[in-house]
Structure 1
Amino acid sequence: MSDFETFQVYAWRVDLLRHYLRLQPIGKLVALQMGFRFRIDDLITRPDLAAMRRGLL
């Protein structure tokens, strides 16, 4: 996080995803502690936050 405003946007996104997944339980919210990686254009990234669909966990 670069500053408090960026953190607030991040926290808002987390709250939004949590609310959506409560109403539509199609997956789970995961964070860096999960230790997963995925490929995008030959780059391996580790997202700060992701929503994983059921069956992929």
Structure 2
Amino acid sequence: MKVYIVAITDSTYMFPVCDGKLFKMKSAAQKACDRYNGTHPNKAKVLVADNWHLEDGE
């Protein structure tokens, strides 16, 4: 099972947004990411929890 988080990344640092909430479904994480990106100048990404990377195909 994969777990997702919405975060802002800056080279070597990762800053969780949305109160650091973990999401079971990628679609729920993407929806939260879109909501965050619509109201903030910093652009967040959806990361996979195994080693906090972007999922393949993105």
TM-score by length of 2: 0.33
Greater share of residues in helix? 1
Higher Rg of the two aligned structures = 1
TM-score by length of 1: 0.33
**Larger relative contact order, structure 1 or 2 (CA cutoff 8 Å, min sep 6):** 2
